[in-house]
Structure formats: structure tokens, C-alpha cells
Amino acid sequence: MSVPTIQRRKTTGQIRAMKGSGQPVVSLTAYTTPVARLFDPHVDFLLVGDSVGMVFYGFKSSLEVTLDMMIAHGAAVMRGVEKSCVIVDMPFGTYQESPEQAFRNAARMMVETGCDGVKLEGGEEMAETIHFMTQRGIPVLGHIGLTPQSINAFGSYSSRGRTDAEAKAIMSGAQAIEEAGAFAYVIEATQEPLAKAITEASGVPTIGIGASVHCDGQVLVADDMLGLFSDFKPKFVKHYASLAPQIASAAETYAAEVRSRAFPAVEHTYQPKKS
């Protein structure tokens, strides 16, 4: 009698072990069950990003995103995966106050979603928090370079690492969060030579978004990758589809058919069975 094979999802430990394997780490954001199901066979981990605030809710920044929102979307994504590791962003204000606050909110996130780990932004200033969390069983994905939750301090979304002082701070931040126990970290919108140098010095995978092809992996916001925003395209985004005009065209055709009474046709309705 054969024992059925149980398919297990990829773990944060397996993501970490991809460093130096020659196999780039593939990641996309996801916020809903149907999209998670579509992406799941193709990625190593799904990131439930706080970018949900802009792409799903229409916020101007991620600062308005709440812990309850991230838990709801994290749980939705978990219902759609069989293979991928799932990491959920910690929203602004849920981890910066203290390591204890961060652990409490991250623990709630993991319990209520079933996700595999959390992501938080920051370099050296977050090392103590990351250490506190990882020592207590919370896998942490770090995030350095452009950290969108700090937009009010930065003043713009321009690339980071353009001055020697800024590059040095980002490099030391990368080292600090790795030593604190992060299993990997995102490098966002950072000058390519700096991102490459950080990757070469790092003992854990670096995940680039607007950083460098030399990073150990890449992540993109799904809605950007799919071309759902035709009015704005960051420099580091490549459209692998152009769904915005297709969706608009489909809506236009549907509206025209409803107004002309071409839809629903007989085949779209329930007719009495002939006796």
C-alpha cells in the first residue's frame, strides 16, 4: 500500500538556502485568493505587500494600511496557495514602537493568517526588533534601500544610495538585519552598483525591486507587472501584460451589449424545459 505524498509549501528556511544555489528567487505580490492560485505554481514566495493600499484601496501611500487589512488579505492569499511560501507586510506603526509591539502584532498576523513570516522595513534601527522577533519564532524578511513607509521622511520615491553617506548607511543596515536573523531582505530602488555589492557581501538572499539583476531574486508588484496601471510605470517595472486596455475594452463591449439588449442572449438564460 503506497503512502500518498503530501505536498508541502516552501519554507523561509528553504528560501534562505537558495543563497548561492544559482537559482534566483522568484516573488510577486498577491492580495486575493484567485490571484494567489494563478501565481502559486510559478513563484518561490508570495508577498502580501502593503502596496495593497494603493493598488486595491486607492490610497495615496501605504501609510493608511491597517493591521486588520493585512490580516484579511494575508488570509485570502493563504487560501489560494499549495506550493509557495507566503510573507505578509507589517503596516506602518505596527512594529516601530518597540520589539514587544512588533512581536505581538506579528504573532497575531501569523496566527490569524497562517502565513510563513512577516516583512518589515528598516536597517540598523530595526536590528534589535528583528533579533527579538526571530529569537521568538517569527521569520522576518527585511527591507532596505527605498522604504516606502518612510516616504514622509525621505520626501520622494527617488532611488537610494546616490551619496557615499547614504550608500554606507544602507550597506551597514543590510549587515545589521542579516546578523539580527532576517532570512532574506528586499533591496528597493537602490543604485545598482550598491545593490550588487550588498548582494556579494550578504550571506542571505537579496530580493531586488529596482535594484540589480545581480540580486539573488526579484519581486514586482503584480498589478504593475500585469499592466493594470497604464498611467504610471516606475522605471524598474516591466509590463509582462497590458491588462488595463483589455479590461476597459471588455467593459465597453459589455456595456454596449447590455444597452442594445444583445446580452444576455438565450444561451445565457434559464428556459423552461420542454415537457
Beta bridge partners of 117: 87
β-bridge pairing 217-220 and 25-29: parallel
Q: Which residues are annotated as a binding site for 3-methyl-2-oxobutanoate?
A: 50-51, 89, 119
- Find the catalytic residue in 179, 188, 192, 200: 188
Residue 1 CB neighbour total at 10 angstroms: 2
Per-residue 3-state assignment (H helix, E strand, C coil) for the chain: CCCCCCCCCCCHHHHHHCCCCCCCEEEEECCCHHHHHHHCCCCCEEEECCCHHHHCCCCCCHHHCCHHHHHHHHHHHHCCCCCCEEEEECCCCCCCCCHHHHHHHHHHHHHHHCCCEEECCECHHHHHHHHHHHCCCCCEEEEEECCHHHHHHHCCCCCECCCHHHHHHHHHHHHHHHHHCCCEEEEECECHHHHHHHHHHCCCCEEEECCCCCCCEEEECHHHHCCCCCCCCCCCCCCCCCHHHHHHHHHHHHHHHHHCCCCCCHHHCCCCCCC
Residue pair 50/65 in contact by the 8 Å Cβ criterion: yes
Active site residue 179: no
Chain-centroid distance, C-alpha 145 = 15
Q: Which residues are annotated as a binding site for Mg(2+)?
A: 50, 89, 121
Known catalytic residues are: 188
